Amino acid sequence: MVRYSKDTDNIVTLSLNMKGRTVNVINHEIGQAFLPVLEHLKMEKARGGLRGVILTSDKKTFLSGGDLEYLLNAEDAEEVFSFTETLKKFLRDLESPGVPVVAAINGSALGTGFEVALACHHRIVIDDPRIRLGHPEVNLGLMPGGGGVIRLMWLLGIEKAYTILTSGHRYSPQEAMRVGIIDDLAKNRKEMLEKAKTWLLENKEGRRPWDREHESIPGGTAKKASVAATIRNFSAQLAKLTHHNYPAPQAILNVLFEGSKVDFDTACKIEGRYYTSLVLSKATKNMIKTFWFDYNAIKSGENRPKGFGKFRPRKVGVIGAGMMGSGIAFACLRQGLHVVLKDVSYLIAERAREYVRKKLDELLEIGFIQEEDKIETLSRIKTTESSKEFEDCDLVIEAVFENKMVKQKVTREAEEFLDEYSLFASNTVSIPITQLATASVRPENYVGLHFFHPADEIPLVEIVKGEETSDETIARAFDFVNAIHKVPIIVKDDWGFYAARVQNTYILEGITMLQEGYPPALIENLGQKAGMPKGALALADDLGLELVLKYENQAAVHYGNKYIQHPAVAVLHKMLKELERPGRQKRAGFFAYHEGAERTIWPELTEHFPPADQEYDHEAIKERLLFAQVIEAVWCMQEKVIRSVPAANLGSVYGWGFPAFRGGVIQFVNDYGLDAFMAKCKAYEQTYGPRFKVPSFLRKLL
């Protein structure tokens, strides 16, 4: 658990090595293991036999976060608060043996693991760009609970601490050095330990700033008028950004505000109370469930076809040097793959190289990579106008214009040079994979890989299985998506696949409300207050009203004589045919577009769809916009378009921006309550029509 060694200079090295785990984690077990060690250190100090302590790890990582299963199931506030008090005591004992302690960080230290590093007097990290450091807890609806907020505040000041804690960013060593959360870098483990010992020999004082008289928080406390004004500005920005749907950032701000006015230990108690309230909140439970447990279920291959060996891609071909193709290429290059990028001419293909170079320069500037990494990455991309360069590619992905004939043409050209084991993938967003695969000489090797824009940033990829796509091809596609550190969800080759199909219901419901006499600004604002990244009308404009209508027409074909036309279809026809406002691309849709200014709702929209003189139930509007998506997602599960609850949840959050604090479309029902959800759907069905009918599958699902 904790390996203890002492050298002739009376410097003790404590090496963490939890048995039976691939990484060290903070839980009751490690806390108990440290108790006798800390007591021994105090005795060593008392008899003058301790000069300093080095804390490091025998594993590849330094120390990971806390026990998320415990946090997901925790319901007792007193128990959670007691747990934070135990953790804080452990960290206070670590930083207060009366001698300096150095964290020699040989691998990633995140969350509670980084709190341990913050409790040390000095932090040295191996300068490996793969190492990640910091406090990403806000991404799970959490915040540090062991004094991490207060320590960062005392080290950096309120403003810097707030930015670090609410960004959820995982810092590279270079970045961490730049923002001030570590103190030094080392080339390797040997130099790290040498630097740690040198620092200990040169620094005898082991008291932290918050334990010394006449020390103060950098920049001042919230008692200072200018600091209080800054905090108020942060609070206003948060309200605008999150609509009060995400409690963690506001809790962090409250802790900084209140904690800056009191002594360190009292401030830590304040932090513990806010931490406890977050752990017990619905939003946090939802986010832990989806972004930790569902995420790991998918990444571990829960839905991957069984019985096939792991596919390890080396070289990937990409057809199309536009934003999508360039983004796919960059995502592959970042994970060490070789890329051949083809377009109609070499000069056009070279645009992708420039895109990659620009993205690498951004990473270089913030310390995520070194100059040699940039050079090496650029050496792995080859641009061409000839399909012959695909000869030794394991996989080729086409990301060309959304046109069936064009896509089939580039498929035939590429497959001429691929061997029988290579895969061919289409990045289509609306054309069935089964139709496109008719151009392939090996349709069993043909698969859909639907990336989302921007491809190098959005973590989701839909793997679309055509009628003839083999299970082995799906397994290999799954491994490829995992290899480029994306989230793979396997979907059926149905209209709109999964993400676009369900997203369309949000758009259609918003358009229907316009027809019903709801003011367009109200529809847009309440969509965002419900947690969606954009209002339904703005999203319709961005996608293009023709595509929105196309998906609904595909639904009509899919359901045949069972299809019931959505009320929004009439509005779409009027906008497209009569008003000739197809969306953003033509700079005319539900919104008006102005040169050099933000778009605004088209002033004449209310003339064609006049608002009704009535009271508007804001909660009902938000619920309709969300319920429409949830119900369609359940239909997708009943029709086996999507294979699992984790895939449905993560696909909804990453794919089209379903509110993260709800945990995704299926977790939404868990959070709302199954019986309450079904009762409300029945009421909406009676008022608004059969689109709110709940599939019978829902009760089997939960």
Per the residue annotation, which of 29, 39, 95, 137 is the catalytic one?
A: 137
* Active site annotation includes 371: no
Q: How far apart are CA 666 and CA 652, in angstroms?
A: 9
Q: Alpha carbon of 62 to those of 88, 493, 529: distances in Å?
A: 19, 44, 40
Q: How far apart are CA 417 and CA 386, in angstroms?
A: 10
Supply the DSSP symbol for 492: E
The token pair at 505 is 């219901």
Percent helix, strand, coil in the chain, to 5, is: 55, 10, 35
Length, in residues, of the chain: 702
How far, rounded to the nearest angstrom, does the alpha carbon of residue 147 sit from its chain's CA centroid? 25
Residue 239's SS3 state is: helix
Q: Is 92 exposed, middle or buried (0-12, 13-18, 19+ CB in 10 A)?
A: middle
Put residue 17 in one of left, alpha, beta given phi > 0 → left and psi -120 to 50 → alpha: beta
Round the CA-based radius of gyration of the chain to a whole number and report it: 28
Provide the terminal-to-terminal Cα distance of the chain, rounded to the nearest Å: 40
Q: How far apart are CA 200 and CA 206, in angstroms?
A: 10
Q: How far apart are CA 416 and CA 298, in angstroms?
A: 34
Which residues face 487 on adjacent strands? Answer: 460
Name the pairing type of β-strands 591-592 and 600-601: antiparallel
416, 387 Cβ separation under 8 angstroms: yes
* Active site annotation includes 115: yes
Q: How far apart are CA 131 and CA 173, in angstroms?
A: 7
Q: Which residues of 366-380 are buried (b: 16+ CB within 10 A; e: fewer)?
A: ebbbeeeebeebeeb
Per the residue annotation, which of 115, 509, 524, 632 is the catalytic one?
A: 115
Q: How far apart are CA 323 and CA 352, in angstroms?
A: 8
The token pair at 420 is 């029988």
Residue 423's SS3 state is: strand
537, 511 Cβ separation under 8 angstroms: yes
648, 636 Cβ separation under 8 angstroms: yes
Q: How far apart are CA 399 and CA 473, in angstroms?
A: 19
Longest dimension (CA), the chain: 91
DSSP string, 382-411: EEES-GGGGTT-SEEEE---S-HHHHHHHH
Q: Of the candidates 571, 565, 572, 524, which has an alpha carbon nearest to the alpha carbon of residue 545?
A: 572
Which residues face 395 on adjacent strands? Answer: 316, 423
Supply the DSSP symbol for 660: G
305, 474 Cβ separation under 8 angstroms: yes
190, 197 Cβ separation under 8 angstroms: no
Q: How far apart are CA 552 and CA 558, in angstroms?
A: 10
The token pair at 97 is 């043996």
Distant-in-sequence contacts of 683-689, Cβ < 8 A, 24+ apart: 684/623, 684/624, 684/627, 688/624, 689/564, 689/567
Which residues are designated catalytic?
A: 115, 137
